[in-house]
Amino acid sequence: MKVIVIGAGLAGLTAARALAQQRIAVTMLDARARLGGRVWTMRGEFIDGQHAELGGEFIDADQEAIRRLCDELRLPLVRVLRSGFTHRFRGEDGEHHVSRTRPWAELERLSAPLLRQYRAVDGDNEAASVREMATWSVREWLRRQDASREQHAMADALRGFFLADPEELSVLALVAQLAHGSPAQAETYRIDGGADRLIEALARDAASRVLLNHRVTAIAQATDRVTVTAHDEHGHQQQLEADAAVVALPASTLRCLSITPALPEEQWRAIGALKYGCATKAVVQTPRDPFRGRARAFATDTPLGAFWDATEGQPESRARQSSSAKRFVLNFLAGGAASRTLRARLDRGAQAVLSDLCWLGMAGAPVDAMKAVTWEDDAFARGGYAYIDPGFDPALLTKIARPAGRLVFAGEHTSEHWQGYMNGAVETALRAVRELGRTVHSP
């Protein structure tokens, strides 16, 4: 049996490894010149061998699929940000206030009627009550509840979590998160030494034929095979045939492909309607500790979005034995409308970003290195990760990943419970491989 995996990000690599374990021949295609997709660890430009995560970074304690995969690959996890994210928002008095749990508690209180409806149907996205609440934005719901200016500011501070402004985000996304549990209480981990260690380990285990710089433009199915059309970096067209294909592209680029015969109408409508959040992620290395005994992660209602200490889990060296020589890695993630503003600041240099942290004493701080990416400008991602807006019917979520003939689908956007997480990519890749076995071998 031969399988083509389209997309060599975390989902595609996980699927390729699972197929290789079944002794199935795999050819993997990706439009990029590197493996990993939206998992992207930057090395070589930071002092003391430190690295920067420009893409997927965090793993929560209850994300079993990726934790189990890391265990299998002998990749240790390191606990980080033990105090969680502290929210900084402007209050009714015009001054900024900080709290770790109050914003989530306030939003949970304001969403209490919706939470009761959601729990009454066990979060069934096809239930009429859930589909109705999905049509309201977070901002609209807050206005219905006569929320204060401070509570609106609290919602603005979540842009670094959902990658969408309250006007663009369905209140269902907030309710589903609150029903699962407040992120303020989550145990958070990173892969020790960098997320690219997972990418490298998967690539070794997959032992697949890998064709990078190959952009897939069309997929055609016959009764007994799949034909994939791709163009290489020189524009030359190639056609590859296999028994089946795992499609592990984000919906944002999948909808640009020609698929013959066409996918079912509901599935294609879901793929076309799913939104991806605007996201600029920046990393600044500095010898100055911006936190100095304070909380080491903040979510703000400012254009900087969320930022945190990314030093935990970084390599140690003799040069850093003394505190004066230690380097700190500071990560920023601006979602929604804040993405444009952070990108504009980055165009003026790292100092323009750090100057907004004058309340942490970072204005004028020395900078060793800076790297950044704006994911909506990336031609092969077109956004950070998927989110549900008020125009998306949640009943379509289960349709996105439905097998179609000899095609199965994977990626964080196809996950019902872990959309937007690395765990969603891993979980859905393993599900897709199971579906592929049933699809191809069924009578």
Distance CA 353, CA 124 (A): 42
Q: What is the pLDDT of residue 317?
A: 46
Confidence of residue 319 (pLDDT cuts 50, 70, 90): very low
| Pick from 25-39, 84-98, 422-436: least confident | 84-98
Distance, CA of 355 to chain centre: 28
Q: What is the pLDDT of residue 294?
A: 76
Q: What is the pLDDT of residue 264?
A: 96
CATH of the domain spanning 86-185, picked from 1.10.405, 2.20.25, 1.10.287, 1.10.238 = 1.10.405
Contact between 407 and 244 (Cβ < 8 Å): yes
Where, residue-wise, is CATH 3.50.50.60 in the chain? Answer: 2-39+197-274+394-441
Where, residue-wise, is CATH 1.10.405 in the chain? Answer: 86-185
Distance CA 435, CA 439 (A): 6
What value does the mean pLDDT take over residues 69-80?
97
Q: What is the pLDDT of residue 91?
A: 85
SS3 content of the chain, % helix, strand, coil (to 5): 35, 25, 40
Residue 29 has pLDDT above 60, yes or no: yes
Residue 442 has pLDDT above 90, yes or no: no
First to last CA, the chain: 16
Architecture of domain 2-39+197-274+394-441: 3-Layer(bba) Sandwich (3.50)
Residue 324 has pLDDT above 80, yes or no: no
Residue 326 has pLDDT above 90, yes or no: no
Give the position of tokens 């589909």.
Answer: 131
What value does the mean pLDDT take over residues 275-300?
92
Confidence of residue 313 (pLDDT cuts 50, 70, 90): confident
Which residues have CB under 8 Å from 133's CB, separation 6+? 114, 117, 118, 170, 171, 172, 175
pLDDT digits (tens, 9 = 90+) for 361-371: 999 999 999 99
Residue 93 has pLDDT above 90, yes or no: no
Rg (CA), the chain: 22
pTM, rounded to two decimals: 0.94
What value does the mean pLDDT take over residues 9-13?
98
Omega into 261 within 30° of 0, i.e. cis? yes
